[in-house]
Amino acid sequence: MSSNDTLQAHSDSHPPSPDSKGGGPYILLFFFIGVALSLVVGWGVFPKLLYSQKNQPFDFNHKNHLEMVDNGCQSCHFFRADGSFSGSPRLAQCVECHEEMQGQSEDEAIFVEEYVSKGQEVPWLVYARQPDCVFFSHSAHVNGAKMDCITCHGHIGTSESLKTYEFNRITGYSRDIWGRSISGLKSNSWDRMKMDDCAECHAKYDAVHDSSVQTKRDACFVCHK
């Protein structure tokens, strides 16, 4: 009771001052500064922190090679007899032409001196390597569904140099899997290759891909191992 009286007396003696609402604009200002800072951190700083960069052992000109080989991409990235896909070429394939220097480029000099003459495999960093739990069948997509390389890999065949390899510091996965766009928007089919991107295409052909009892789509074991 007595404390109530005191409170009453206290508030009576100090009526609300007319300029106490002057904090409003400042609060708004701090709010917008906060939003701006979050945006800068989220869109600019965090992606830089999240991804680490590595350079390939030496540069490679896909365009140049594609012009000289007879069988397109399959000249170097071919299927083995058991239906498995070779992926990045091994030294044995390169040596078929590059036993000795073919041109004058510095990159080829590195290749011949460091790898060919020492018989050492090139430790290529693979942009499109999927996580360990994924079974991706090149055979099913290229031989079965007759898809072309560009759908998933883009116009890598006409590129003149290799881009910097970026990988996620937490997962170790290549940035090409999650995609370069932080907003998550994608304009080309090859912009990223997450599970949703695989599922997007598989869902289009759901008459064929409906083996899962749980999801009525493709059973998990179609692409997982």
Q: Which residue has the tokens 């009525």?
A: 216
Residues 129, 176: Cα–Cα separation, whole Å: 9
Stretch that binds other proteins, among 13-21, 35-43, 56-64, 74-82 (CB under 8 A): 74-82
Q: Tell which positions 83-102 bind other proteins, by CB under 8 A.
A: 83-84
Q: Which residue has the tokens 């928007």?
A: 185
Question: Rule CB under 8 A: is residue 199 a binding residue for other proteins?
Answer: no
Question: Rule CB under 8 A: is residue 126 a binding residue for other proteins?
Answer: no
Which helix (H) or strand (E) covers residue 175, if one does?
helix 175-178
Neighbours of 220 (CB within 10 A): 12
* Residue of 1, 92, 170, 213 that binds other proteins (CB under 8 A): 213
Question: Rule CB under 8 A: is residue 147 a binding residue for other proteins?
Answer: no
Helix (H, G, I), strand (E, B) or coil at 46: helix
Asked if 33 contacts 146 with a C-beta cutoff of 8 angstroms, the reply is no
* Residue of 1, 27, 92, 133 that binds other proteins (CB under 8 A): 133
- 138 vs 175, which CB is nearer to other proteins? 138
Report, in Å, the least distance between residue 38 CB and other proteins: 30
Asked if 222 contacts 209 with a C-beta cutoff of 8 angstroms, the reply is yes
Report, in Å, the least distance between residue 99 CB and other proteins: 30
Question: Rule CB under 8 A: is residue 214 a binding residue for other proteins?
Answer: yes
Cα angle 31-180-126, degrees, rounded to a multiple of 5: 145
* Residue of 137, 159, 168, 189 that binds other proteins (CB under 8 A): 137
Residue 167: beta bridge partners?
52, 174
- 98 vs 141, which CB is nearer to other proteins? 141
Residues 89, 86: Cα–Cα separation, whole Å: 7
Q: Which two tokens stand for residue 9?
A: 């007396």
Stretch that binds other proteins, among 64-72, 111-119, 178-186, 206-214 (CB under 8 A): 206-214
**Residues at the site binding other proteins, with contacts judged by CB under 8 A:** 79, 81-84, 131-133, 135, 137-140, 143-144, 207-208, 210-215, 219-222, 224-225
